Amino acid sequence: MKNLLLNLRRTGAPLLLGAVALLGGCAQMGVQPWERDLLAQPAMAPEGVPLHGDLDDHVYFSKEAATGGRSFGGGGCGCN
Amino acid sequence: MNPEPWLQRTTTGWRGGFDAMASPCELLLEGVDEATARALLQRAQAEALRIEQRFSRYRDDSVVARLHAGRNTWQLVDEETALLLDFAAQCHALSGGLFDITSGVLRQAWRFDGGTQVPTAAAVAALRPRVGWHLLRWQRPRLWLPEGMELDFGGIGKEYAVDRTLALLQAEAPVPMLVNFGGDLACSGPRRDGSAWQVGIEQPTGTAGEPVAAAVLHLRHGALATSGDARRFVWHEGRRLGHVLDPRTGWPVEGAPRSVTVAAPRCVEAGMLSTMALLRGPGAADWLREAAVPHALIGADGTLHNHFETHPHPT
Amino acid sequence: MQLKPTDWRAALAGATASLLAPVAPITAHAAGSGDGSTPWLVDSAVLVYSEAGGRVKAVEPAVGLKRTDAAGVSTGLKLTVDTLTGASPNGAVAQPGVQTFTTPSGKANWEASAGRVPLDPSFKDTRVALAANQERPWGADTRLGYGANFSHEYDFTSLGANVSLARDFDRKNTTLSLALALEADQLRPVGGQPLALKPMFGAGSGKTGNGTRNVADLLLGWTQVVNRQWLMQLNLGLGTGSGEHTDPYKLLSVVDGGTGLVTGSRYVAEGRPDSRTRTSLFWGHKVSLGPGVLDASYRWYGDSWGVRAHTVDLRWRHPLPGGGFVQPRWRHHVQSAADFYRGWLVEGVDWDSATQSTPLAHASADTRLGGFSADTIGVTVGWPLAKEQMVTLRLESYRQRQDTLAGAPGVLASLPLTPDLKATMLTVGWSFRW
């Protein structure tokens, strides 16, 4: 746990702060319910093309050390 | 089985009608033969009855009844209901909360029969927590309607039916026509000879009697809708309170005109403009003038103010 | 009223146009619409992965089913099968001569070509994974999700469960979510788990039985609609794993500090720490620009093994006439090596063959834990076959460039110690309603 907090402080925290700075403009963010026309397009879905995300996660999990991102990996494999 | 609509020949075409949405519905047609006129009339009746069946709050089999039965759960609505809810949401925002389709519940406290019965402050206060568009969740295509709340499409139902019926009939037969559902009407364009349709605005007399045309309008394009009803009111402390309720307070809007008739390209738009004007109470006339809306207004004192000639009609 | 009356009129005209836009289509829908059974959305895909140089090849078909009922409960099922063949580096360093190794089962030997990084060809495995999940509304603004997953292959089994809570704020413009996933893994290496940091073969080597590993992950998410065109997501992931992390098939070469040739105990089994804590911060954006959509994301990663990584992923989805799309993609990943990563052990410094001991707590030559930068370049093309049926084809090229290992002694300095990894990936997909 101690290592985790150290990591955050060194590099994670400045990134988080940068993201939180966006909150300053929070009052202006958002749309009315009927302004969701563009957001409703399939191209705007967070997951992208179905299954591509899972397949990518598996490939990069087995070839690289880093994990994490949009969602949890779907489960373990013996490959790392 | 629906009763057959009536049909009669006119000098330039046909005139037919039927009853729907608690109103006499009328269709004026030119440039078609009798068989086509009858077919179009039946099409109009079918569409009017379809909308009534789906969105009337008085029917057990309507979409509205189903939504009321499923309160406090997420409910999937069909495309047409979704479009109406989107429209209601936008009008609620544009009107600053004055237009609110959840305000129907207030009718439980108010009886506008010309009598003097006025609800107690407590009775109105008890209903107010159940009124408010912001209380429900509309996330297309799902609706979350909280316990005790009701949806009432009465404010836009008739105008919506007029616009849809006109569009459907025009798609089948692009001839000059006018659709009139109980005073909310729309035309496809000028008549065959290029002249305008002639529409009368009713002058409410204080007593029950034959309605008198206070003014005759010439409609070449677009639609007309009227909000307000001189016959529905309550007397309270010597003042006449109209039947339009402010959803934010639960009380009738004070100093509102008795009726407002507006012209706009679409009946739905005209209906919303006339409702909004009425909800502004004494400021109705000024607001309509600022917005450059062609209108006629019957004031609280019963006098007619006709502003149709002074504004060019939008096409 | 904030708006001027004329602006108000324009807004109302727009709202009216939207309401009345569909005329004929509605009459077809009106009869009994909104009720009835909702269909399953089926997504299927096959990934064919192939590394250059006779290395790993994998074929991975996957099928996912998803259905959302009228009450908003959505259920999903996913089945994945993956078959792996080909050769993979075992951690030994290249040598001027041929090297011989024993397979994990101990029944056969294999030879690594002279002057090349040894690639163990004995990997043939088939893995089956199954996942099920459900998400349901809980009150007006909250959604509760839960799921389980199971994965099995010859030498590894994993069982996991997850639960999540998501809450909408501000007309669903903001969503905050919390998710927890737990996983229990059982490792049954072929031939047993070698004793860590002990000789891999021969005298002094030993095996222990099966191992286990438990992983817990926490994900905090913030999704925000920025404006009509822009959706943003920020996710913080925290994870901790405890148990067996050492790869039972990987080793390190013991080389002479002067000549660079293998010596002494020759090959030593790797050893990794018993625990690993990870942090990741993901910042993703979807922006609708003109006809297309830009997907841009950055992920920072750090863990207790000393790995630090940055990943940037850019995609541009451009619509094609006829309803299809073309989506070029570039992904760039750069990571720093784990603290205990090394290319080899130096006799007398990192390893003492006489006592078969090492001053190091942990060591691994697995290039996945090394420092490298990797690029993925590819393009996806999708086109609709019929209503709500789409076929997609994705071709991508992946290239990993390892950081050069410093201080290579003797002959090692002139051998290709860290060749690039090159892989081609072809994914064919088909989505339809059932």
What count of Cα atoms within 13 Å lies in the side-chain half-sphere of residue B30?
A: 16
Residue type, B81: T
Residues B67 and B146 in one domain: yes
pLDDT at res. B244: 80
Tell me the pLDDT band of C99, cut-offs 50, 70 and 90.
very high
> A57 to chain C: which residues are within 8 Å by CB?
none
B84-93, B111-120, C73-82, C421-430: range with lowest mean pLDDT: B111-120
Q: Which two tokens stand for residue B129?
A: 């927590």
How far does CA A21 lie from the centroid of its chain?
Answer: 18
Residues B69 and B147 in one domain: yes
pLDDT at B247 exceeding the cut of 70:
yes
Q: Which two tokens stand for residue C261?
A: 């040739």
Q: How many CB atoms lie within 10 A of CB B91?
A: 25
Q: How far is A23 from chain C (nearest CA, A)?
A: 10
The CA-atom distances, in angstroms, between B161 and each of B87, C26, C80, C144, C311 are 14, 13, 52, 40, 55
Q: Which residue in the block uniquely carries the two structure tokens 């072809």?
A: C426
pLDDT at res. C28: 43
Look at the alpha carbons of C257, C262, C264, C270 in this order and tell me if their dihedral is positive or negative.
positive
Query: Whole domain around residue B113: which residue ranges?
Result: 63-152
B61 touches chain C (CB under 8 A): no
Residues B39 and B176 in one domain: yes
pLDDT at res. A2: 46
A79: left (phi over 0), alpha (psi -120 to 50) or beta: alpha
pLDDT at C373 exceeding the cut of 70:
yes
Of B54, B139, B167, the CB nearest to C20: B167
Residues B21 and B168 in one domain: yes
How many domains are there within chain B? 2
Question: Going by DSSP bridges, is the β-strand pair C142-153/C125-137 parallel, antiparallel, or unpaired?
Answer: antiparallel
Length of chain A measured in residues: 80
Q: What is the mean pLDDT of chain B?
A: 87
Residues B53 and B172 in one domain: yes
Find all residues with CB under 8 Å of C355, minimum gap 6, and list them: none
Q: How far is A66 from chain C (nearest CA, A)?
A: 6
Identify the burial level of B39 via C-beta atoms within 10 angstroms of its C-beta, where 0-12 means exposed, 13-18 middle and 19 or more buried.
middle
Is there a domain that residue C26 lies in?
A: no
Query: Whole domain around residue C417: which residue ranges?
Result: 44-433
Tell me the pLDDT band of C3, cut-offs 50, 70 and 90.
low
Tell me the pLDDT band of B34, cut-offs 50, 70 and 90.
very high
Domain boundary among B140, B163, B195: B195
Distance, in Å, from the CA atom of B308 to the CA atom of C30, rounded to the nearest integer, reads 38
Which chains have at least 3 CB atom pairs separated by less than 8 Å from chain B?
Answer: A, C
Which residue of B81, B269, B273, B295 is the best one to mutate when testing the C interface, meaning the one whose CB has the most C CBs within 10 A? B269
CATH number, residue B39: 3.10.520.10
Which residue of A6, A7, A8, A41 is the best one to mutate when testing the C interface, meaning the one whose CB has the most C CBs within 10 A? A7
Is there a domain that residue C22 lies in?
A: no
Tell me the pLDDT band of C31, cut-offs 50, 70 and 90.
very low
Q: Where are the alpha helices (DSSP H) in B70-133?
A: 79-94, 121-127
Tell me the pLDDT band of C100, cut-offs 50, 70 and 90.
very high
**Which SS3 state, helix, strand or coil, does residue C400 take?**
strand
Tell me the pLDDT band of B205, cut-offs 50, 70 and 90.
low
pLDDT at B252 exceeding the cut of 90:
no
Over the stretch B269-289, which tens digit does the pLDDT of each residue have? 999 999 999 888 888 889 898
Taking alpha carbons only, the member of B249, B229, B248, B234 closest to residue B110 is: B234
Residues B92 and B147 in one domain: yes
Over the stretch C135-184, which tens digit does the pLDDT of each residue have? 999 988 999 999 999 999 999 999 999 999 999 999 889 999 999 999 99
Residues B162 and B124 in one domain: no
Q: How far is B85 from chain A (nearest CA, A)?
A: 10
Please tell me what DSSP assigns to residue A10: I
Residues B90 and B130 in one domain: yes
Over the stretch B13-33, which tens digit does the pLDDT of each residue have? 999 999 999 889 999 999 999
Q: Which two tokens stand for residue C61?
A: 């078909």
pLDDT at res. B259: 86
Is there a domain that residue B245 lies in?
A: no
Is there a domain that residue C1 lies in?
A: no
Q: Which two tokens stand for residue C250?
A: 């990987």
Identify the burial level of B264 via C-beta atoms within 10 angstroms of its C-beta, where 0-12 means exposed, 13-18 middle and 19 or more buried.
buried
Is there a domain that residue C362 lies in?
A: yes
Is there a domain that residue B242 lies in?
A: no
pLDDT at res. A21: 56
Taking alpha carbons only, the member of B55, A73, B262, B189 closest to residue C185 is: A73
- H or E element that contains B227: strand B223-227
The CA-atom distances, in angstroms, between C174 and each of A22, B135, B281, C165 are 13, 18, 37, 14
Identify the burial level of C27 via C-beta atoms within 10 angstroms of its C-beta, where 0-12 means exposed, 13-18 middle and 19 or more buried.
middle
Q: How far is B83 from chain C (nearest CA, A)?
A: 5
CATH number, residue C325: 2.40.160
Residues B141 and B72 in one domain: yes
Over the stretch C216-257, which tens digit does the pLDDT of each residue have? 999 999 999 999 999 999 999 999 999 999 999 999 999 999
Distance, in Å, from the CA atom of A43 to the CA atom of C249, rounded to the nearest integer, reads 42
Which residue of C7, C18, C20, C26 is the best one to mutate when testing the B interface, meaning the one whose CB has the most B CBs within 10 A? C20
pLDDT at res. C36: 52
Residue type, A79: C
| Cα nearest neighbour of A34 on chain B | B86
Q: What is the mean pLDDT of chain A?
A: 73
Is there a domain that residue B201 lies in?
A: no
Which residue of B55, B87, B140, B165 is the best one to mutate when testing the C interface, meaning the one whose CB has the most C CBs within 10 A? B87
Is there a domain that residue C23 lies in?
A: no
pLDDT at A25 exceeding the cut of 70:
no
- B141 vs C3, more confident: B141
Is there a domain that residue B218 lies in?
A: no
pLDDT at res. B301: 79
Of B73, B290, B292, the CB nearest to C71: B73
Is there a domain that residue B251 lies in?
A: no
Peptide bond between residue C189 and the one before it cis (omega within 30 degrees of 0): no
Find all residues with CB under 8 Å of B58, minimum gap 6, and list them: none
Residues B141 and B173 in one domain: no
| Cα nearest neighbour of B89 on chain C | C15
Q: How far is A34 from chain B (nearest CA, A)?
A: 6
**Which SS3 state, helix, strand or coil, does residue C302 take?**
strand
B167 touches chain C (CB under 8 A): yes
pLDDT at A12 exceeding the cut of 50:
no
Q: Which residue in the block uniquely carries the two structure tokens 């909800």?
A: B279
Is there a domain that residue C31 lies in?
A: no
> B293 to chain C: which residues are within 8 Å by CB?
9
Tell me the pLDDT band of C125, cut-offs 50, 70 and 90.
confident
Is there a domain that residue B249 lies in?
A: no
pLDDT at res. A80: 67
Domain residue limits, chain A: 42-68
Residues B131 and B175 in one domain: no
In this structure, the dihedral spanned by the alpha carbons of residues C365, C368, C372 and C376, taken in order and rounded to 10 degrees, is: 150
Q: Using alpha carbons only, give the angle A27, A28, A33 rounded to the nearest 5 degrees.
A: 105
Tell me the pLDDT band of A5, cut-offs 50, 70 and 90.
very low
Average pLDDT score over residue span C266-295: 96
Distance, in Å, from the CA atom of C250 to the CA atom of C248, rounded to the nearest integer, reads 6
Are the Cβ atoms of A54 and C280 closer than 8 angstroms? no
Please tell me what DSSP assigns to residue A9: I
Is there a domain that residue C336 lies in?
A: yes
pLDDT at res. A26: 58
The answer to whether the CB of C239 falls within 8 A of the CB of C209 is no
Q: How many CB atoms lie within 10 A of CB C222?
A: 18
ipTM of predicted assembly, 2 dp: 0.91
Residues B34 and B99 in one domain: no
Over the stretch A29-45, which tens digit does the pLDDT of each residue have? 888 877 888 898 889 99
Is there a domain that residue B113 lies in?
A: yes
pLDDT at A14 exceeding the cut of 90:
no
| Cα nearest neighbour of B266 on chain C | C16
How many domains are there within chain C? 1
Find residue C216's DSSP bridge partners: C182, C240
Are the Cβ atoms of A33 and C60 closer than 8 angstroms? no
Are the Cβ atoms of C284 and A46 closer than 8 angstroms? yes
Q: Which two tokens stand for residue C127?
A: 């893995």
**Which SS3 state, helix, strand or coil, does residue A79 take?**
coil
Domain boundary among B152, B171, B187: B152
Q: How far is B185 from chain A (nearest CA, A)?
A: 27
C249: left (phi over 0), alpha (psi -120 to 50) or beta: alpha
Are the Cβ atoms of B86 and A36 closer than 8 angstroms? no
Cβ-defined contacts of C172-176 (< 8 Å, 24+): C172/A33, C172/B139, C172/C225, C173/A29, C173/A30, C173/A31, C173/C224, C173/C225, C174/A29, C174/A30, C174/C222, C174/C223, C174/C224, C174/C225, C175/C221, C175/C222, C175/C223, C175/C224, C176/C220, C176/C221, C176/C222
pLDDT at res. B202: 67
**Which SS3 state, helix, strand or coil, does residue C14 take?**
helix
Taking alpha carbons only, the member of C429, C433, C425, C312 closest to residue C381 is: C429
- B308 vs B44, more confident: B44
Over the stretch B165-204, which tens digit does the pLDDT of each residue have? 999 999 999 999 999 999 899 999 999 999 999 887 766 5
